[in-house]
Structure 1
Amino acid sequence: MKKTALLTALTLASLTAISGASAQGSALSGTVTVWSWDVAAKALQSTIPSFNAKYPNVKVNVVDLGNQNTYDRGLAGCAAGGADLPDVYSIENNEAEVFWARFPDCFTDLNTLGADKIAAQFPAFKWTELMAGGKRYAMPWDSGPVVIFYRRDLYQQAGVNPTAIKTWDDFIAAGKKVNAKFGGSVKMGAVGNGQDDEWFRMLANQNGCFYFDNSATQVTVAKSGCVQALDTVKKLYANNVVMTSDWGGQITAFKANKLASAMFGAWYEGTIRTNAPDQKGKWGVYPMPASKAGGVRAANLGGSALALPASSKNKEAAYAFIQNALATTGGQVAMLKGEGLVPSLLSAAKDPYVAQPQAYWGNQKVWQTILDTLGDVPQARGTQYFQDARQVMIVVQADYIKGKYKTAQDALNDAAKKISSATGLPVAK
């Protein structure tokens, strides 16, 4: 083909594609109702302008029901055969499998709308809890890649170099320096011991272990990676480098300059920034320490997804909204900028905004540091029994810290038996 003919053909093909996209945009109409909560609802609202630029005849109505109410009304709607559910439903990853297990027909298999073709654009760990029987019941939204948030000034005063902290033993050594400098009044971290087991879950996840295996058929909490995680939590206490605190107490502590570090999913960035605006420039971020030299320095804590109820009368428009918000860099980055929701979409890590220095964080490119860990996060399956297992582990962890069990293995053997009894799943050999 001659060059001029080739260019003409390409131009015609481009015009056809553009007119096709425009036709699809104009063909979709009606209203899409979205249920969500708090900052998540605000984040979704920020994607509406870009959605309406593509689909001007679709009205999007984001309803902020609050977190618990969204969950409760979702369960009630599914139990009633899909009655009164919205077109798009926000769901937390660790609660998602309750729906797939109890109400497998309540939500649309997004593969039927093309989700299977874009699955590779998200990290594998984000799909783990959103699939059942080969069906994709929800699309990944935000994620919670785990990092250490640290006070630059407190570290510096104690002679701690964050770049030298590569393992948990390094973290403990740094905590001893912080203790020495501040007479024990400042701690290296805060653990919700007796309130939650999130430190155990983060450490277990980085070690490739969780309450259950990824096929959701066995209780695996007594496996070696989990044993090492619980042992590390005990070592942090044995070396007196952490305090025990609930959610609110930890915020009070870092506002009062009593905490040199905090470990959470990256969504905690907004918690620190909004609660301690006067500490602007004093905070930084580094990857979580590994269990051993050269080990994995990544885990995930939290995150949500968007599902499409099977009862929706406007499925194509609802899926178009989900895809625009979650499967485009523009949609994900808009929510990162506005509400600090960390994207799951891998291409979002390459957006120019991610590489920008953030003033609050001492002009560090924190989003680059955070998102660079996404591809290293091991998969973990919460299953429909996540809350049952969590309640067992909260008690077992606290009892182990108190000395009720001789070893972490003993503690987790007991936890495994209790979780098995509560769920009916066998303990892995």
Structure 2
Amino acid sequence: MNKRTLLSALCLTLSFSHFAQADETIKVWSWDIAADALKKLTPAFEKQHPGVKVEVIDMGPQQIYDQALAGCSAGGINLPDVLTLENQAAERYWHSFPNCFSTLNEFGIEEYRDQFASFKWSELQKGDNIYAMPWDSGPVVLFYRRDMYEKAGIKADDIKTWDDYIAAGEKMKSAYNGQVKMALTNHATGDNWFSMMAGQNGCSYFKNEGSEVQITINQPGCVDALTTLSKMVQNDLLGNGDWDGKLQGLRANKAATAMYGGWFEGSIRDFMPEQSGKWGVQLMPASKPGGVRASNNGGSALAIPNNSKHKKLAYEFMTFALTNKDNQIEMLKGGLIPSYLPATKDSYVHSDQPYWGGQKVWELMLNTLDDIPVVASTPYSVEAKDIYIFTQGKVLSGEYPDAQKALDKAAEQISKATGLKIAK
């Protein structure tokens, strides 16, 4: 083949390649600030992939879950090329519809295993099959009012355990005549605080024992969490509040702290701009001296439905978004905390944040990623959560004074509901 013939063939190949890509559109389902973050990345990705378009569709999480369940139930139809799933909701898909999503092993996702916080992977795989790539995380911290601590004579550095937190709560009650709670929680209708506190103890509703799922809600780490939570409620240190109620209460100076995943930073800053400089961030208290002061609350991942016609491109888009340090830092500025470890070395992470009194809040939060215990989330979490919340209500009201006996009974009820064994 002479040079002219070779050049003509090469031009024809390139022309065909461009033509083949011209109609390729990757559809992505996501929500809220996550959808906004992905939309901001699409121009750069499209520039790298001429002829490819990325369409990010902003939907509510429940809408995504409903349509994903319907699509998977119908054999994988009417699904996008990429969709966002919260870690805690992901495992039911791999369990109930193992063929609905692509295993990312075929694309070589193992090369990124050590680049993400280890706790993120447990809910994104079944056996050796990895079904999603980690995205953001929710390292738990305690947000606190500097001015309220000062009035009550509380030093943030002195709060190292939950006993210390309870002692600080008594000071807060005294300083404000009981008008300011230590925190507002959803303990009347939810398991948020219990899950975070049990998580730091390495305990959850279940654990995976080989290929078998076992019930662990009555294990020591969970019992300790409920016992401590009950003590705080009995001492009148916690007030009740749903999501809106908590934000309104914090704004109205009704509580001195809030415990959440680090993403709550944006909620405080956006909803209470007038309180700039009054807030600080500290590690969550440990269950015992020298104990773990880290847990996770929230976070999501990206997955590729098996019926996607653009799986390779979809995977390239995922890696472009999630394994690029600069992209992750831009997302962090928008409120999405990375689980991608190289991003934790960026200078922005170690910079002073004006709203927080010049504190390096991202550094504090992201330094906990490697300390977050791995806990299991399973397809049975919905049943277990309902039973637990009912039990929690009885413990917090004093009807069950012994958290161990209460959780033993809850474990039996979960076993009857799911058919699973209770771990020894």
Common fold by TM > 0.5: yes
Please tell me the residue identity of whatever aligns with 2:270. Answer: T
Q: Give the deviation of 1:420 after TM superposition.
A: 1.2
Identity %: 51
Please tell me the residue identity of whatever aligns with 2:324. Answer: T
State the distance in 2 between where 1:391 and 1:43 align.
33
The 5 Å alignment of 1:226-265 reads: 226-265=222-261
The answer to whether 1:80 aligns with 2:56 is no
The 5 Å alignment of 1:346-385 reads: 346-385=341-380
Q: Give the deviation of 1:28 after TM superposition.
A: 6.4
Bigger drift between 68-77 and 415-424 goes to: 415-424
User: Tell me, which stretches of 5 or more residues in structure 2 are unaligned?
Assistant: 1-16
Please tell me the residue identity of whatever aligns with 1:325. Answer: A
Q: How many residues were matched structurally? A: 405
The answer to whether 1:104 aligns with 2:128 is no
State the distance in 2 between where 1:368 and 1:226 align.
29
Q: Give the deviation of 1:33 after TM superposition.
A: 0.5
The answer to whether 1:221 aligns with 2:220 is no
Q: What secondary structure, in the 3-state scheme, does the structure 2 residue paired with 1:104 have? A: coil
Please tell me the residue identity of whatever aligns with 1:419. Answer: I
State the distance in 2 between where 1:170 and 1:206 align.
17
Please tell me the residue identity of whatever aligns with 2:133. Answer: M
User: 2:86 is matched with which residue: 62, 71, 92?
Assistant: 92
The 5 Å alignment of 1:333-348 reads: 333-338=329-334, 340-348=335-343
Q: What secondary structure, in the 3-state scheme, does the structure 2 residue paired with 1:154 have? A: helix
Q: Give the deviation of 1:265 after TM superposition.
A: 0.8
Partner of 1:34: 28
Partner of 1:4: none
Q: What secondary structure, in the 3-state scheme, does the structure 2 residue paired with 1:297 have? A: coil
Contact 1:190-1:244 at 8 Å conserved across structures: yes
Q: Give the deviation of 1:53 after TM superposition.
A: 4.2
**Could you list the per-position Cα deviations for residues 117-157 of structure 1 after superposition, in whole angstroms to 9, with x for gaps in the alignment?**
11111111100010002110000111111000011111111
Contact 1:47-1:335 at 8 Å conserved across structures: no
User: 1:130 is matched with which residue: 124, 137, 156?
Assistant: 124
List 4+ stretches of structure 1 deviating above 4 A: 25-29
Q: Give the deviation of 1:70 after TM superposition.
A: 0.6
Contact 1:300-1:377 at 8 Å conserved across structures: yes
Please tell me the residue identity of whatever aligns with 1:359. Answer: P
State the distance in 2 between where 1:391 and 1:415 align.
10
The answer to whether 1:179 aligns with 2:173 is yes
User: Tell me, which stretches of 5 or more residues in structure 1 are unaligned?
Assistant: 1-24
The answer to whether 1:269 aligns with 2:265 is yes
Partner of 1:11: none
User: 1:423 is matched with which residue: 413, 418, 423?
Assistant: 418
State the distance in 2 between where 1:422 and 1:76 align.
24
Partner of 2:405: 410
State the distance in 1 between where 2:242 and 2:97 align.
34
Contact 1:207-1:225 at 8 Å conserved across structures: yes
Please tell me the residue identity of whatever aligns with 2:170. Answer: K
Q: Give the deviation of 1:191 after TM superposition.
A: 2.1
Please tell me the residue identity of whatever aligns with 2:114. Answer: A
Contact 1:214-1:379 at 8 Å conserved across structures: no
User: 1:164 is matched with which residue: 150, 158, 176?
Assistant: 158
Please tell me the residue identity of whatever aligns with 1:301. Answer: N
Q: What secondary structure, in the 3-state scheme, does the structure 1 residue paired with 2:337 have? A: coil
Partner of 1:304: 300
State the distance in 2 between where 1:416 and 1:333 align.
42
Please tell me the residue identity of whatever aligns with 1:185. Answer: Q
Please tell me the residue identity of whatever aligns with 2:266. Answer: G
Contact 1:124-1:379 at 8 Å conserved across structures: yes
State the distance in 1 between where 2:167 and 2:44 align.
49
State the distance in 2 between where 1:130 and 1:283 align.
35
**Could you list the per-position Cα deviations for residues 15-61 of structure 1 after superposition, in whole angstroms to 9, with x for gaps in the alignment?**
xxxxxxxxxx9896621110011122112112223423433432110
The answer to whether 1:313 aligns with 2:270 is no
State the distance in 2 between where 1:333 and 1:289 align.
28
State the distance in 2 between where 1:149 and 1:180 align.
21
Partner of 1:16: none
State the distance in 1 between where 2:265 and 2:417 align.
35
Q: Give the deviation of 1:195 after TM superposition.
A: 1.3
State the distance in 2 between where 1:28 and 1:380 align.
42
